[in-house]
Amino acid sequence: MDENNGNTIGWFLAGVAVGATAAILYAPQSGQDTRKYIGKTTKESREAMELSGKELMERGKELYDRGRQIADEAAELFERGKKLVQG
């Protein structure tokens, strides 16, 4: 998942939360039922955002590790080439 997808998911979830809240506020339910539903929706949205954040962190770590590996391999090749030229 690239950074753009993470932003898209985040904005989508934020839109869902705002839309659901607006729909609930105008729905013909009792105040207590509405508060319960808002609490439940908020909890579900928060959990979805946390999961999305964890996935982004894991992907970022994978990319960092791969970049580090490539940099280490490039440094090793540079040292080999330097020895060949000097030697």
What are the tens digits of pLDDT across the range 32-81? 887 888 788 888 888 888 888 888 889 899 999 999 999 999 999 999 98
Give residue 51's domain range: 3-86
- Structurally, how many domains does the chain consist of? 1
**47-72 burial string, b = 16+ CB within 10 Å, else e?**
ebeeebeeebeeeeeeeeeeeeeeee
pTM for this entry: 0.46
In whole angstroms, how large is the CA radius of gyration of the chain?
24
Contact 26, 65 (CB under 8 A): no
